[in-house]
Amino acid sequence: MSQVTRILSDIEHGNQLASEQLLPLIYQELRQLAAAQLAQEKPGHTLQATALVHEAYLRLVDVKQVQNWNSRGHFFIAAAEAMRRILIENARQKKSLKRGGHFHQVDLDNKQLFSSQQNLDLLDLNEALDELTARHPRQAEVVKLRYFAGLTIAETASALGIAESTADADWAYAKSWLYVRLQESNTVSP
């Protein structure tokens, strides 16, 4: 049993000090995961990787109801999901009318200011991912781990307990499905 798995088990059994031992062991991995997530965000995103890591960690460990972590992989699946939810909440807050609604912050120092490349709208992706989850849950988990957690095909397969070829096929299918779904939503919306 790895040290992380042992600490996760201790947390599950109510050891309050165990959560303090866990963060230093996994902080760099969570920070890399958060940085990868934020790199995919639109320019002008105000959430920093450190804040994302800390918020996700608090949601995972500092809860009233004890979580059951089966393994290190299970913890990182939950961390990726927590980060996704935090980014979605942040995107929704930014879109709300009381926070400027349809106005967008523009970074004038950004060299891509006049780029024709349009970044992915996280709310559209979340909606499409929810649909994919309802129809094809395993493929949706692959997307979450690959896109939001930045895991490789091998790491994704290991985390989900499936063969690498299955993870690769699921990833290819999910990317195609999401591409079509997002194209449909872009032609429908103004």
What CA dihedral angle connects 18, 19, 21 and 26, to 10 degrees? 130
Report the chain's mean pLDDT, rounded to a whole number. Answer: 75
What mean pLDDT comes out for the span 90-111? 56
Rg (CA), the chain: 18
Nearest Cα to Cα of residue 35 among 56, 20, 19: 56
How many CA atoms does the CB half-sphere of 80 hold within 13 Å?
A: 22
What global pTM score does this model have? Answer: 0.50
Local confidence band at 55 (pLDDT 50, 70, 90 cut-offs): confident
Per-residue pLDDT band at 114 (split at 50, 70, 90): very low
d(CA 1, CA 23): 18
pLDDT at position 160 is 92
> Rounded distance, CA 169 to CA 166, Å?
5
